[in-house]
Structure 1
Amino acid sequence: MPLFAAWAWVGALALVALRVQAWYLPGSAPNSFIVNDPVPVQVNALQPMAGATPVHGLVSYDFYDERLGFCRPTDGVKAEHGGLGSALFGDRIYNSAVQLRMLEAKSCAVLCQTHVSAEQARFVNERIRERYAVNWMVDSLPVVDIDMTKGDGSLRTNSIGFALGTFLDARGHVLPTPALYNHYVLNVSYHERTPGEYRVVGVNVRPMSLASVPPDQAPGATPTCEAQAPVFLSPNASTTVAYTYTVHWTKSDTPWATRWDAYLHVVDARIHWYSLLNSTAIVALLCILVALIMARAMRRDIYRYNAIDLAEDIQEDYGWKLVHGEVFRAPSSPVLLSVCAGAGAQLGVMVCVTLVFALLGFLSPSNRGSLGTILVVAWTLLGSVSGFVSAKVYASLDGEQWRRTMLLAALLVPTAVFGLINLLNVVLVFNQSAGAVPFGTLLALAALWFLLQVPLSLVGSFLGLRSGGLTHPVRVNQIPRQIPPMPWYLRLWPSALLAGILPFGAAWLELFFIMNSLFGNRVYYAFGFLTLTFLVTALTTATVSILSCYCQLCAEDYRWHWRAFITGGASSLWLFLYGTFFVLARLNLPDMSSQILFFGYLLLISSLAFLLFGFIGFAACYACVRRLYQHIRVD
C-alpha cells in the first residue's frame, strides 16, 4: 500500500509539474522582445563565492541592505514572490535600478551617486575581503563575470555572479584598502528568432572600479568613466561613489531553448566518470567476493546443521545456528528503532522521487527553488511511508506500545529537523541575513507538517498495524542465552566505523562537488552522476551490513537489529568528519555565526544520511536473516 501511494504521489507531482512546465522543460515560458522593449533586470542576495581563496562566510545579505548602499530603483523596490523552495534556499529577488532596452547600447549610464558613510565603508570593505558575489539576472538568466566564461560561452567553473570588489592590485599585491566595483560593462547576447523578434540567450559582465567622481569635482557634476584610478571607501570619512554601467549587445546563434547549457555544463566531467567507474569496480568486486564467500559458507553451514548423525542421539549446534532461538528476540528500545526505520524509509523514497524529477529536468536551476519545493512536498506527502514502515517493523518485534510508536513516527524526526532549522534561523536573523526564512514560510511549513504529514503518517501507521508484522521462521526462547566475549574488531563501534569507510569511499568525490555548491555559491547539475553514486553507495551499504551481521551471528551475538542500523548509517559519521576537514581546508570561517551555521547544516545532513542508510542496512540484514534461518532444520 505505501509503495502504491508513493508512486501515486510521483504521478501526481509529475502531472502538476508538466502542467506548470507546459511551455518548456526545464525553465519557464520564453520572453520575446522587439527593438526598444524593456528587458527585465533583477537582483538577488549577496553570497560568498568560491575562488582562489577560501570562502570566509556563510551569511548572505539582502541586495538592498542599508549597509551596502546600492542604488535603488526610481519606482521603488519591488520583491518577486518565489515558491516555497526559493524562500528556503535564501533567494531574495527584487527589481533593479539598471534599465535595459532591447538592442539599445549605453555608455557610462549613471545609476546614482551615493555618499557612503564610514560605517558602511567598513562593512563593504569587510565583505570585499570575504569575496562576496553580487548576483544579477537579466531575463531570469544569471549574470556571470566575463573572466569566468570560455570562448564558446560555457563557464570555466560553476560559480555565478561577480565580485563586489577587489583587494588585489593589477600585480596581485594586497591593497591597503579594498577597491569597490562601481562600473559594470554588460554584454548581452541575443538570438533573432524571427525578423524583429529577439530573445536573450546570454549575459556577462566586466566589473570595474573607477574613481569617476574625483574629490575636487563640484557636487552634482556628471561622473566620467575615463578615470584610471580605482575608488576606495574610506573607513574614517564619507565617500562619494557614482555607480555607472555600459551595455553592449552581441548577436548569437544559440537558441533560447539551450541558453542554460552554458551554466549547466558539468565542469571536469571526466573526474566524475573516473570516480564513478572506480567506485563501481570496487563495489562490484566487493559484492562478488561477499556473495561467493557467504554463499559457500552458508551453504556449508546449512548442510552441516541439517545433517543427521544416526550414530549419535544428540547433535551439537554451533555458530549462527546456536542462536536460532534468540535471533528474532526484540531489541532494546524497539519503539525508537521502528521510528528511525520508518523515517529512513521515508527519506529513501523521497530521495528516489527527487532524483526521478531531477533526471527528467524539472530541477534545473532555471526553475528557481524547484529543488527545495520538491523536497518539502515529497517529504510531506510521503509521511504515510514513515508511518507504515515504523508500524510494520514494530509489529514484527511483537511490541505492545503501538500508540507511542504511531505518535513518535509522526512527530519525532520532523520535530528534531524543524527545531534545528529554527535554531539556525535565529542565527541568521541575528546577523540580519537575507537567508533567514520568513515567518510566513515557517508557518507554511508548520501547516504542511500538521495538516498533511501528521495525518498521512497516522493513516500509514494504522495500515501497517492492520497488515501485521513479518512472520519469523524460528521461535524465540523464553530465557535469553548468554553472549560470549567478542574480539575488539567485532564490537559495535569499531566494526561499524570500519564498515562505514566503504560506502563513504564510494561517494566522497561527489560530496566534494555538493559541498562546493552548498557553501560556495556554485551551480550543481550533475544529477546523473549523483543518481549512479547513490545507487552504488546504497548497494555498498547493504553489502557491508550483511557481512557484518553474518560475522556477528557467527560469534554467537544475536543483538543484530541496532547493530545493522548503526553499521548502515556509519558512513554518515565519516561524512561529518569529512565536512570538518572541508571547513578547515576549503573554508575560512573566523566568526562564530558562520561556524554555527556550517556545523548546524552539516549535523542536519549527517543525521538524515544516518537515518537513510541506516534503514538500508537494517532492511538488508532483516531480509538476509529471515532468508538464512528459513533453510535450517530446528529440532
Structure 2
Amino acid sequence: MAPDFRLRLGRCLLFLVGLAYTEAFYIPGWSIKSYKENEAIPLLVNKVYSDNTQLQYAYYDLPFVCPPTGARHEGSSLLSGQTIPLNLGEVLRGDRITQSDIELVMGQDQECKFLCTRTVTRKDLKRAREMVKGGYVAEWIVDNLPGATSFVTVDKSRKYYAAGFKLGYTDVSMSSEKPRYYINNHLTIVIRYRKAPGKDGERGGRVIVGFEVYTKSIGPGNGLENGCPEDINEVEAPMELYLPPNTTDMALQYPHSSYYPPESEQDIEDGATLNIPYTYSVYFREDDKIEWSHRWDLYFVNQEDGSRIHWLAIINSLIISGLLSSIVAMILARTIRGDIKTYKDASAEEGFKQKRRSRPGSGARTPRPGEKTTGGLLEQVGDTENDADISSDEEALEEATGWKLLHGDVFRAPAYGYLLAPLIGSGMQLVFMVVGLLFLSSLGVLNPSFRGGFMSVGIGLFVFAGVFSGYFSGRVYKTFGGVNWRKNTLITATLFPGLLFALVFILNLFVWAQASSTALPFGTLVGIVLLWLCIQLPLVYFGSWFGYIRTGPWEHPTKTIAIARQIPVLPWYIRTPQSILLAGLIPFAVIFIELLFVFQSLWQDKSGYYYVFGFLSAVCVILILTIAEVTIVTIYIKLSAEDYNWWWHSFFVGGGSSIWVFLYCIWYYFTKLHIQGFVSGLLFFSYSFMAVCVYGLLTGTVGFLTAYAFVRRIYGAIKAD
C-alpha cells in the first residue's frame, strides 16, 4: 500500500512541476482579435500605482493629465472617459478602465500629435510632484495588453518588458542640491504586430503582439508648433513641475541659484497656473518573432532567471518532507506496531490465564471461600468463562503504558467544540477554493489575459464551496455530541466570512478617505453581501443538514469513560505554545523560498503577474504532506505523554506555520519594501493578517483531519483484536 501511494504521489508531483512550464501559456482562440489596414484600435487607460504605496488612483482622476473629451472615436462603442464593464476581480484589484482620446489606426504612423494643454494650479502641481516622487506608474491597455517599457538583459541577449510607464522623474540640481521634478508629457507608442493566423491573415488581418510606451519630458521653450516641438528628437529643456513664488524676496535670498525653493503655503491659493502640453507619437512595427499565443512571454522573461530558485525550493521541500516521511514511517511501522503487538500479546496471555483459572478441575479438593460444589465440580460465585474473556482486554489496557492508557479519554469531546466545528467547516471551504484555483491556474485557464479572473473565480469557488463547509461542520459538530445543528450552521456561515467582510469594510473606509481607486464602491459591497447571504448561506445550510441529519457522526473505535483521567505534568516541548511554534517551523521551511516570489509579485512588482503555478502547486502538495506528517508526530508524542487533549492541539499545530509566515511578513516589510504613509502600512499589515488567517485556517484543518484519522487508526487497531 505504501509503495503504491508514494508512486502515485511522485507522479502527481512530476505532473505539477511539468505544469510549471506552462508559465506564460494561456488558452487562445476566442480572444484573438485581428485588425485590418487603417482600422481603428481603441486605447484604454486604467490606473496609476507605485511600489512605495498601497494606494492606487484612476488615471483620469489625476488633476494634471488631459481629461476625457467625451467624444466618440472610431473603433470603440464607448465615449471618451466612459468606463468599460469590469468583473468583480478587476474592481477588487483597483482597476478603473476607461476609453481614452488617443487615436490609433493600424499601419498609420504619427510622428507627433497634440492631445491637449492642461492648466494646473499650485495645488495640482504639488500633487503631481508627490506622485512623481512616489514613483507612480501609469497603465494603459491596447488589445488587452498593458503598455510596457522595453529593456534588454545585461548581455543584450534577451528583451523583456516592465509593465507601465512612469509619470515623471526626479533630478537633483548640482547648484541647489534640491530635487527637481519633471513630468513626462510626451509619449511614444510602439505597436508591434504580425500577420493573423489562418484565413483571417490571408484576408489581410493583423494581430497585435506588443505594446510599448516610451516617455519624454518636453518643456515650453522648444519651439512648439501646435503643441509639438519642431524636432521631437532634439529637446533642449524638459517640462518642470514648478511655479516660482510670488514674493520677490526669494530672488534676493538665493541670488546665485537658478532654482527657487518650493512655494510656501500662502502661495498655494494665489491663483498662479502652469500650462502643460501633452503630445504623443505612434509607430507600427511588424514583428514575426513573437507568436500571438506567447505575446505575454516578454512580461515574464525577467522572472525566468528565478527558475533555478524554484527548483531549489522544490528540492528543499522534498528533502524536508522525505525526512519527515521517514520519521512517520518509523513511528507507524515500528513504535506503534510494536506497542499494538505488545498489547495484543498481553491481552492474549491474560485471556489464557483467565480461561485456565476458570477451567473445571479433574480431582476433588476443598472448596475455597466464595466457591460452591455442583456435581463434584468447583464453580466460582458470580464469575463465568465469558466474564473472564470480556475483562481480559480491559485488564490488558490497564496494564498498558503511554498512549494506550487513553483509550477511555482520547475521543472525549473537546472544550469549545461549538467553535472548532465551524472552523473546520470554513477550512474545508478554503481547501476546495485553493485546490480549484491552483488547478485552473496550472492548466492556463486563469492567466494574465483574464484580467481579474483569479480573484473572481476564487470568490466564486469560495461561495459555492459553502456546501462542503456545512457538511464537514455539521458532521464534526454531531461527532462532538452537539444538538443544535441550526445554530452551528449559522455560526459556520457567518463566523469566518463575517469577520473577513468586517475587516475589509473598515479598511475600505480608510482607502475611501484617500480617494483611491482601491476603495470598493457601495454597489460592490452590496453585491458581496448578497453573494454571502443569498447563495453561500443556503449552501451551508444544505451541507450542514446533509452532514448532521443524513450522514451522522463518525463512529469511534473505543468508548469514552465517565470520569476523565488526570493529565500528568508535561515536558516543556509538549506544552501547547512551544509545541505549536516548533512544529510550525518545519512547514514554514518548506515554503519560505517560494514565499519570496509570491511576496515580490504581490508587493514589489504590482504590475507583474505570478505565473509559475506549476511550481507553486508542487510546493503546496509537499506542504500539505509535511503538515500531515508533523501533526502525526506531534500528536503521537502528546498521546504518549498521556495527554488526551489533542483536538484543538492538532488544529493549532497544523496552522502553526502561519505564525512564522506573519513574522516573515514583518521582516519583509522592514527590509525589502519602501512603503510610505500610515494608510499604506495599515493596508499591508491588515492584508497580510487576513492572508495569514486564511492560510492558518486551511492548514489547521488539514492538521485536524490528519490527526483525527491517525488517532482513529491506532485505537481502531487495538479494538480490532
Residue 84 of structure 2 corresponds to residue 80 of structure 1:
yes
Q: For residues 298 and 135 of structure 2, what CA distance do their matches in structure 1 show?
A: 23
Aligned to 1:616: 702
Residue 69 of structure 2 corresponds to residue 64 of structure 1:
no
Aligned to 1:146: 150
Residue 346 of structure 2 corresponds to residue 304 of structure 1:
no
Aligned to 2:650: 564
**Per-residue CA distance 1:238-272 (angstroms, 9 max, x = gap):** 32211111222211112322222323555321211
Write the mapping of 1:149-298 to structure 2, written as runs, cut at 5 A: 154-155=159-160, 159-168=162-171, 176-193=179-196, 194=201, 196-211=204-219, 213-214=220-221, 222-224=228-230, 225=232, 226-234=234-242, 236=263, 238-253=273-288, 254-265=290-301, 266-267=303-304, 268-298=306-336
The one of 442, 458, 463 equivalent to 1:375 is 458
Aligned to 2:691: 605
Q: For residues 227 and 293 of structure 2, what CA distance do their matches in structure 1 show?
A: 45
**Per-residue CA distance 1:256-312 (angstroms, 9 max, x = gap):** 222223235553212111211221122122212322234211011112222225598
Deviation of 1:402 (Å): 2.1
Aligned-partner SS, 1:155: strand
Aligned to 2:98: 94
Write the mapping of 1:109-128 to structure 2, written as runs, cut at 5 A: 109-128=113-132
Q: Which moved more, 1:452-461 or 1:533-542?
A: 533-542
Write the mapping of 1:34-53 to structure 2, written as runs, cut at 5 A: 34-48=36-50
Q: For residues 169 and 289 of structure 1, what CA distance do their matches in structure 2 show?
A: 61
Q: Is the 8 A contact 2:186 2:280 kept in 1?
A: yes
Aligned to 2:439: 356
Q: Which moved more, 1:314-323 or 1:327-336?
A: 314-323
**In the alignment, residue 49 of structure 2 is paired with which amino acid?**
Q
The change in CA–CA distance for 1:174 and 1:374 in structure 2 (over 3 A counts) is: farther
**Per-residue CA distance 1:587-631 (angstroms, 9 max, x = gap):** 223311111111110111011111100000000000000001011
Q: Is the 8 A contact 2:195 2:207 kept in 1?
A: yes
Residue 445 of structure 2 corresponds to residue 365 of structure 1:
no
Q: Which moved more, 1:403-412 or 1:561-570?
A: 403-412
**In the alignment, residue 165 of structure 2 is paired with which amino acid?**
F
TM-score scaled by length of structure 2: 0.80
Q: Which moved more, 1:586-595 or 1:390-399?
A: 586-595
Deviation of 1:321 (Å): 0.6
Aligned to 1:464: 547
Deviation of 1:147 (Å): 2.9
The one of 309, 319, 341 equivalent to 2:402 is 319
The one of 459, 467, 470 equivalent to 1:387 is 470
Aligned-partner SS, 1:630: helix
Number of aligned pairs?
601
Write the mapping of 1:439-454 to structure 2, written as runs, cut at 5 A: 439-454=522-537
Q: Is the 8 A contact 2:558 2:715 kept in 1?
A: yes
**In the alignment, residue 263 of structure 1 is paired with which amino acid?**
Y
Aligned to 2:419: 336
Q: Is the 8 A contact 1:305 1:633 kept in 2?
A: no
Aligned-partner SS, 1:307: helix
Deviation of 1:135 (Å): 0.4
**Per-residue CA distance 1:146-182 (angstroms, 9 max, x = gap):** 23789677526xx4212221124799x9861222111
Q: For residues 371 and 324 of structure 1, what CA distance do their matches in structure 2 show?
A: 47
Deviation of 1:59 (Å): 0.3
Write the mapping of 1:412-431 to structure 2, written as runs, cut at 5 A: 412-431=495-514
The change in CA–CA distance for 1:154 and 1:613 in structure 2 (over 3 A counts) is: farther
Q: For residues 89 and 530 of structure 1, what CA distance do their matches in structure 2 show?
A: 22
Q: For residues 166 and 438 of structure 1, what CA distance do their matches in structure 2 show?
A: 32
Q: Is the 8 A contact 1:63 1:70 kept in 2?
A: no
Q: Is the 8 A contact 1:160 1:523 kept in 2?
A: no
Q: For residues 458 and 96 of structure 1, what CA distance do their matches in structure 2 show?
A: 47
Q: Is the 8 A contact 1:180 1:233 kept in 2?
A: yes
Deviation of 1:187 (Å): 1.7
Q: For residues 655 and 584 of structure 2, what CA distance do their matches in structure 1 show?
A: 7
Q: For residues 529 and 117 of structure 1, what CA distance do their matches in structure 2 show?
A: 51
Aligned-partner SS, 2:151: helix
- Structure of higher CA gyration radius: 2
Residue 600 of structure 2 corresponds to residue 516 of structure 1:
yes
Aligned to 1:21: none
Deviation of 1:70 (Å): 3.6
Residue 135 of structure 2 corresponds to residue 131 of structure 1:
yes
Q: For residues 631 and 74 of structure 1, what CA distance do their matches in structure 2 show?
A: 76
The one of 635, 642, 664 equivalent to 1:578 is 664
Aligned to 1:3: none
Q: Is the 8 A contact 2:58 2:95 kept in 1?
A: no
**Per-residue CA distance 1:512-539 (angstroms, 9 max, x = gap):** 2222222231211111111111111111
Aligned to 1:51: none
Aligned to 1:6: none
The change in CA–CA distance for 1:68 and 1:468 in structure 2 (over 3 A counts) is: farther
Deviation of 1:633 (Å): 4.7
Q: Is the 8 A contact 1:25 1:361 kept in 2?
A: yes
Aligned to 1:437: 520
TM-score scaled by length of structure 1: 0.90
Aligned to 1:489: 573
What value does the CA root-mean-square deviation take over the aligned residues?
A: 2.4
Aligned to 1:7: none
Q: For residues 218 and 32 of structure 1, what CA distance do their matches in structure 2 show?
A: 37
Deviation of 1:221 (Å): 6.0
**Per-residue CA distance 1:22-61 (angstroms, 9 max, x = gap):** xx8258522211222111111111111xxxxxx3210001
Q: For residues 633 and 465 of structure 1, what CA distance do their matches in structure 2 show?
A: 26
Aligned to 2:32: 30
Aligned-partner SS, 1:147: strand
Deviation of 1:69 (Å): 3.0
Aligned to 2:428: 345
Q: For residues 377 and 512 of structure 1, what CA distance do their matches in structure 2 show?
A: 27
Q: Is the 8 A contact 2:48 2:139 kept in 1?
A: yes
Aligned-partner SS, 1:574: helix
- Which ranges in structure 2 are unaligned for 5 or more consecutive residues? 1-25, 72-79, 243-261, 264-271, 355-394
**Per-residue CA distance 1:377-404 (angstroms, 9 max, x = gap):** 1111110100000011111112223232
Q: Is the 8 A contact 2:141 2:147 kept in 1?
A: yes
Q: For residues 275 and 204 of structure 1, what CA distance do their matches in structure 2 show?
A: 34
Q: Which moved more, 1:291-300 or 1:595-604?
A: 291-300
Q: For residues 563 and 227 of structure 2, what CA distance do their matches in structure 1 show?
A: 94
The change in CA–CA distance for 1:145 and 1:634 in structure 2 (over 3 A counts) is: closer
Q: Which moved more, 1:129-138 or 1:160-169?
A: 160-169
The change in CA–CA distance for 1:202 and 1:634 in structure 2 (over 3 A counts) is: closer
Q: For residues 283 and 539 of structure 1, what CA distance do their matches in structure 2 show?
A: 7
**Per-residue CA distance 1:354-384 (angstroms, 9 max, x = gap):** 1121122121110111111111111111101
- Which ranges in structure 1 are unaligned for 5 or more consecutive residues? 1-23, 49-54
Deviation of 1:562 (Å): 0.2
Deviation of 1:65 (Å): 1.0
Deviation of 1:463 (Å): 0.2
**In the alignment, residue 192 of structure 1 is paired with which amino acid?**
K
**Per-residue CA distance 1:182-223 (angstroms, 9 max, x = gap):** 111222111022353211110112212221x139x7997654
Q: For residues 555 and 607 of structure 1, what CA distance do their matches in structure 2 show?
A: 30
Residue 108 of structure 2 corresponds to residue 104 of structure 1:
yes
**In the alignment, residue 479 of structure 1 is paired with which amino acid?**
I
Q: Is the 8 A contact 2:66 2:115 kept in 1?
A: no
Q: For residues 415 and 96 of structure 2, what CA distance do their matches in structure 1 show?
A: 48
Q: For residues 148 and 451 of structure 1, what CA distance do their matches in structure 2 show?
A: 51
